[in-house]
Structure 1
Amino acid sequence: MRPTPTSCNARVLAQSSATLLRQLPRTVASRRAASSACGGSPSTGLNLAASRNPLSTVPSRTRTFASSARLYSQVSTDGSEWKLAKVPNRGVVEVSGRDTVKLLQGLVSNDVKILASATEPHAPALVYAGFMNPQGRMLADVFIHRQAPLQDGSPRWLLDIDSRTLPSLLAFIKKFKLRSKVKLTDVSNEYSVVQAWTSAASQPNSTVTEQLSRDPRCPTIGYRGVVSHETHATLRDQIASVEDEEYTIHRIMQGVAEGALDVPEAASLPLENNLDYMHGVDFRKGCYVGQELTARTHHTGVVRKRIVPLQFYLLGTPAPDTLNVDRGATFQLPAHLAEVRSKPVASASATAKPARGKAAGKFTSGIYNVGLACLRLEQVQRWTDASNPTSEDGLEMSVLSADGETTLLVKPHIPKWWPEPPQPADNNDPQE
Structure 2
Amino acid sequence: MPLITLPDRTCILVTGPEAEDFLQNILTLDLQTVGTDDARPGALLTPQGKILFDFLISRVDGGFCLECRSDIAADFARRLMMYRLRARAEIALQDECVVQVSWNEESASSPEDSAVLDRRFPEGTVHRVYDADRTTSATREDWTAYRVAHGVAESGSDYELSDAFPHDVLLDQNGGVGFKKGCYVGQEVVSRMQHRGTARRRVLIADSEASLPASGTPITADGRPIGTMGSSSGGRGLALVRIDKVKNAVDRDVPVLAGETSITLSIPAWARFDFPQSPSSED
Amino acid corresponding to residue 213 of structure 1 in structure 2: V
Amino acid corresponding to residue 422 of structure 1 in structure 2: F
Equivalent position SS for 2:244: helix
Q: Is the 8 A contact 1:85 1:247 kept in 2?
A: yes
How many angstroms apart in 2 are the aligned matches of 1:375 and 1:220?
27
- Give 1:377's match in structure 2, choosing from 243, 247, 266: 243
Structure 1 residue 124: Cα displacement: 4.7
- Give 2:108's match in structure 1, choosing from 191, 199, 205: 205
Alignment length (residue pairs) = 283
Confirm whether residue 410 of structure 1 aligns to residue 263 of structure 2: yes
1:171 corresponds in structure 2 to: 78
CA offsets, 1:167-194, max 9 Å, x none? 22222212211232222211131x2222
Q: Is the 8 A contact 1:139 1:263 kept in 2?
A: no
Q: Which runs of 5 or more structure 1 residues have no equivalent in the other structure?
A: 1-81, 116-121, 149-154, 315-328, 344-356, 385-390, 401-406
Alignment of 1:1-40 (within 5 A): none
Alignment of 1:75-90 (within 5 A): 82-90=1-9
Confirm whether residue 342 of structure 1 aligns to residue 221 of structure 2: yes
1:104 corresponds in structure 2 to: 23
Confirm whether residue 232 of structure 1 aligns to residue 133 of structure 2: yes
Equivalent position SS for 1:144: strand
Equivalent position SS for 1:164: helix
1:161 corresponds in structure 2 to: 68
After superposition, the CA RMSD in angstroms is: 2.4
Equivalent position SS for 2:71: coil
Equivalent position SS for 1:219: coil
Q: Which has the larger radius of gyration?
A: 1
1:395–1:185 CA distance, 2 compared to 1 (3 A): same
2:101 corresponds in structure 1 to: 195
Amino acid corresponding to residue 429 of structure 1 in structure 2: S
Q: Is the 8 A contact 2:245 2:280 kept in 1?
A: no
1:186–1:232 CA distance, 2 compared to 1 (3 A): same
1:427 corresponds in structure 2 to: 279
Structure 1 residue 313: Cα displacement: 4.5
1:260–1:221 CA distance, 2 compared to 1 (3 A): farther
How many angstroms apart in 2 are the aligned matches of 1:286 and 1:245?
39
How many angstroms apart in 1 are the aligned matches of 2:242 and 2:67?
30
Equivalent position SS for 1:297: helix
Q: Is the 8 A contact 1:213 1:225 kept in 2?
A: yes
How many angstroms apart in 1 are the aligned matches of 2:147 and 2:124?
7
Q: Is the 8 A contact 1:139 1:264 kept in 2?
A: no
CA offsets, 1:305-339, max 9 Å, x none? 1011213445xxxxxxxxxxxxxx5x7x23x4332
1:267 corresponds in structure 2 to: 163
1:130 corresponds in structure 2 to: 43
1:26 corresponds in structure 2 to: none
- Give 1:277's match in structure 2, choosing from 173, 184, 195: 173
1:396 corresponds in structure 2 to: 255
Equivalent position SS for 2:181: coil
Structure 1 residue 371: Cα displacement: 2.1
How many angstroms apart in 2 are the aligned matches of 1:114 and 1:377?
29
Q: Which runs of 5 or more structure 2 residues have no equivalent in the other structure?
A: none
1:377–1:123 CA distance, 2 compared to 1 (3 A): same
Structure 1 residue 144: Cα displacement: 1.1
How many angstroms apart in 2 are the aligned matches of 1:362 and 1:299?
26
How many angstroms apart in 2 are the aligned matches of 1:308 and 1:428?
18
1:283–1:209 CA distance, 2 compared to 1 (3 A): farther
Equivalent position SS for 2:99: strand
CA offsets, 1:114-168, max 9 Å, x none? 55xxxxxx655433211111110011221112112xxxxxx23211011122222
1:219–1:114 CA distance, 2 compared to 1 (3 A): closer
**TM-score normalized by the length of structure 1:** 0.60
Confirm whether residue 147 of structure 1 aligns to residue 60 of structure 2: yes
CA offsets, 1:369-401, max 9 Å, x none? 3321111112333555xxxxxx6x12211133x
Aligned identity (percent) is 23
Q: Is the 8 A contact 1:125 1:145 kept in 2?
A: yes
Structure 1 residue 287: Cα displacement: 0.3
Identify the structure with the greater helix proportion: 1
